[in-house]
Amino acid sequence: MALITLLTDSGDSDFYVSAIKAKISSINPGIRVEDISHSIGHGNVAHAAFVLNAVFRDFPKGTVHLVGVDATGQPGAGHVAIQLEDHFFVACNNGILSLISDKNPQYVAELNTLNLGNTTFPEKEILAPAAAKIASGVSLSDLGRPATNFRRLTIRHLKANKSQILGHVIHVDHFGNLITNISKDVFDQLSAGKNYIVQFAGERISRLHTNYNQTDPGDCFVLFNSQGLLEIGVYKGDASRLLGLQADSPVNIIFQD
């Protein structure tokens, strides 16, 4: 069965999400639609990209992902459909799709030709029809000409050498846990045979945990999560509030021979 996922900043108190689903069903009632989240911060491209990057590979290849975050975008931005890692994505050409993978898209098509006029609801009028057509077997080349202005945003990468890793918080989740851009792969390469100290908000932690419940309530834990990223939290507490850390807050690992 064809599958479309929805990721929006529309919330759940209005009709917007239902209208998007209704549009998809009106084109092809046989398409299955799954919600990723509708609680993305309003226009928060970084938040949406983090969530999408974390989950899209868990869906079957060939899944179509409709991204309705900052869907109007800046004047002239337009909308695109791309194939990436054998998945399909439709979104505003606001740079969000450049943040979800280090790989280049296999194909990028402009969707401007689907817009017969200005709309205040591009998620329904542009993205939903495009997603439904792709899920129904229409090729990207039939939806629009190849895009020549696919917008790319720059990802701030960590800095690392033999003595330290300099990273930062890239996401604060629903529990207040702090997810960083420090990957387990980089840590494993640099930490072999060395002691280390994880530094953040005045804290110095010399032990990595493997599960959230390995500390007492109210104590900090530091672990590599299911994404392979360093995560900081307070067991049974809100680490962001208690530690005063937010997105972009520094988190460093110092190695000691």
Render each residue's pLDDT in the chain as its tens digit; 257 residues: 799 999 999 999 999 999 999 999 999 999 999 999 999 999 999 999 999 999 999 999 999 999 999 999 888 889 999 999 999 999 999 999 999 999 999 999 999 655 555 788 999 999 999 999 999 999 999 999 999 899 999 877 889 999 999 999 999 999 999 999 999 999 999 999 899 999 999 899 999 999 998 999 999 999 999 999 999 999 999 999 999 999 999 999 999 87
CA distances from 33 to 6, 26, 47, 131, 169 (A): 7, 13, 21, 11, 32
Identify the pLDDT of residue 113.
Answer: 56
pLDDT score for 74: 86
214, 221 in Cβ contact below 8 A? yes
Is residue 173 within 8 A of residue 179, CB to CB? The reply is yes
pLDDT attached to residue 193? 87
pLDDT of residue 173: 94
**Are residues 177 and 186 in contact, defined by beta-carbon separation less than 8 angstroms?**
no
Domains of the chain are 3-142 (3.40.50.10790), 159-256 (2.40.30.90)
